[in-house]
Amino acid sequence: MKKKVTLRDIGKRLGLSAMTVSLALRDHPRIPESTRERVHAAIRELDYKPNQVARALATGRSNLIGVIVPNSSDPYYAEVIRAIEDAASQAGYHVLVSNGSYDMNKYVDRVRAMAALHMGGIITAPPLLSERPRLPSFWQELLESDLQIVLVNRQLRPAIFHQVAADYLTGVRLVLDALVERGHRRIGYLSGTPAMLPIKQRWRAFQRHLQRLGLPSDPRLHQSSELTFAGGAAAGRRLWEGTTEKPTAIVAFSDTVAIGLLRFLHDAGIEVPRAVSVVSFDGLPLGEFTTPSLSSVVTPMYEVGSRAFTLLLEAMEGRHSVPQSLLLPVHLALRESIGPPLSSPSRLSTKLSSPLA
């Protein structure tokens, strides 16, 4: 293995001390410009790579940022993480990813461990339960520290930390308006569990828009699902078998839950959308290739991640004195899983767009 070049090696080459070389690297005003130019030329010639651990100890900050999500294998968070890594790489940062597993104590442990690595900031999605949470003491301490925090997929009102989320509440309105326009009046909902903030917010928005549209809110048409394919299948079965008056449409909290629901309906011989329409949230690419293709509120997942990193970088540079809140727009992609209810006279004349259009 090639011997690593050190500041001492550069200083020896130029007849300077290691301290002078270090100050020149940081463009310190005490070092003449001619000396700084000589140092930078030597760095390029010797292919010097800075010792990031030593730099962190000297400056109190590393080129690491942390990312803590509930489940990094979840397709939503996997795409968010990919965007963060792409943006961080371009800015010269490395990313350390950890799973919080919907457990606040685990989040606290992860944040403590990351702070010990002299990170400048962390992007995270903690399992908050309220828009105005009573933060545990540790999170209160973070507000008073130099460690910058950006929340993703969390909308606190008012913002406490910097936050980036998609406008899912508008997405709920888009979904219900599209179903009502096609003649649906009895609409089921598969929510998520554990009941974290975005899950609660979306369910409340669903109930509000039902009321706005003058539609019944039947508790038998609401089931909570684990955020997995199997959870969606099981919750779909409970909803369908829990009432004799079946829904003509079912809205699922996420594409993952909806794909599980589609599997249950297929196995039970219930045709989609002939017997029941299915709509969900996230807009995963997989939804274009299910049978039938899945109608979904498309979230700019990649943009959520890239904007979260940009906001974190700005915060670490001291460019924001108050918490920033970014809400990104969504749109509804109508595919094969949505149509008029079976009793609608317009069924035969309704044509759905191609899933790949």
Indicate if 161 and 173 belong to the same structural domain.
no
Residue 163 to residue 87: CA distance in whole angstroms: 17
User: What distances in angstroms separate CA 90 from CA 33, 94, 97, 307, 319, one per listed residue?
Assistant: 27, 10, 17, 14, 19
Verify that 86 and 120 share a domain, yes or no: yes
Q: Is residue 2 part of a domain?
A: no
Q: Quote the distance between the C-alpha of residue 129 and its chain's center.
A: 17
Give the CATH number for residue 16. 1.10.260.40
Q: How confident is the model at residue 345 (pLDDT cuts 50, 70, 90)?
A: very low
Residue 173 in any domain: the answer is yes
Same domain, 162 and 175: no
Residue 29 is predicted with a pLDDT of 78
Q: In this structure, is residue 230 part of a structural domain?
A: yes
Q: Are residues 213 and 264 in the same domain?
A: yes
Residues 6+ apart with CB under 8 A from 92: 63
Per-residue pLDDT band at 50 (split at 50, 70, 90): low
Pairwise CA distance, residues 354 & 357, whole Å:
5
What is the structure's pLDDT at 39?
Answer: 86
**Contact partners, residue 53, CB within 8 Å, separation at least 6:** 62
57 within a domain of the structure (yes/no): no
Residue at 354 is within a domain: no
- The reply to whether 194 and 340 lie within a common domain is yes
Task: Indicate the SS3 state at residue 33.
Answer: helix
Residues of the domain holding 339: 168-300+332-349
Length, in residues, of the chain: 357
Give the model's pLDDT for residue 22.
75
Distance CA 48, CA 178 (A): 59
Q: Is the alpha carbon torsion for 147, 142, 68, 323 positive or negative?
A: negative
CB 161 within 8 Å of CB 116: no
**Same domain? 103 vs 251:** no
More confident residue, 153 or 23: 153
- Alpha-carbon separation of residue 32 from 19, 45, 178 (angstroms): 14, 20, 67
If one counts the domains in the chain, the total is: 3
Which whole number is the average pLDDT over 78-98? 93
Handedness of CA 139, 144, 150, 153 (dihedral sign): positive
| Residues forming beta bridges with residue 97, ordered by sequence position | 67
Q: Is there a single domain that holds both residue 115 and residue 202?
A: no
What's the confidence (pLDDT) of residue 142?
84
Q: How far apart are CA 204 and CA 184, in angstroms?
A: 20
Do 284 and 223 meet the contact criterion of CB atoms below 8 Å apart? no
Same domain? For 129 and 177 the reply is no
Q: Does residue 108 share a domain with residue 83?
A: yes
Report the candidate in 19, 330, 267 with the shortest Cα–Cα distance to residue 11.
Answer: 19
Residue 86 pLDDT exceeds 90: yes
- Is 26 domain-assigned? yes
**Higher-confidence residue: 357 or 194?**
194
SS3 20: helix
Average pLDDT of the segment spanning 235-255 = 96
Lowest mean pLDDT, pick from 240-249, 259-268, 345-354: 345-354
Residue 113 within a domain:
yes
| Predicted TM-score (pTM) of this structure | 0.79
Strand, coil or helix: 193: strand
The DSSP code sequence of 86-108 is HHHHHTT-EEEEEE-TT-HHHHH
Shared domain check, 235 and 128: no
What's 336's domain CATH number? 3.40.50.2300
pLDDT in tens, 166-190: 999 999 999 999 999 999 999 999 9
Mean pLDDT, rounded, of the chain: 88
**CA–CA distances in Å: residue 264 to residues 31, 224, 274, 296:** 71, 15, 15, 18
Residues 318, 341, single domain; the answer is no
Q: 191-244, pLDDT tens digit by residue?
A: 998 788 999 999 999 999 999 999 988 999 999 999 999 999 999 999 999 999
- Residue 44: predicted pLDDT: 84
Predicted local distance difference test score (pLDDT) of residue 352: 38
Q: What's the pLDDT band for 54 if we cut at 50, 70, 90?
A: low
Please tell me whether residues 118 and 20 are part of one structural domain: no
Pick the range with the lowest mean pLDDT from 142-146, 211-215, 251-255: 142-146
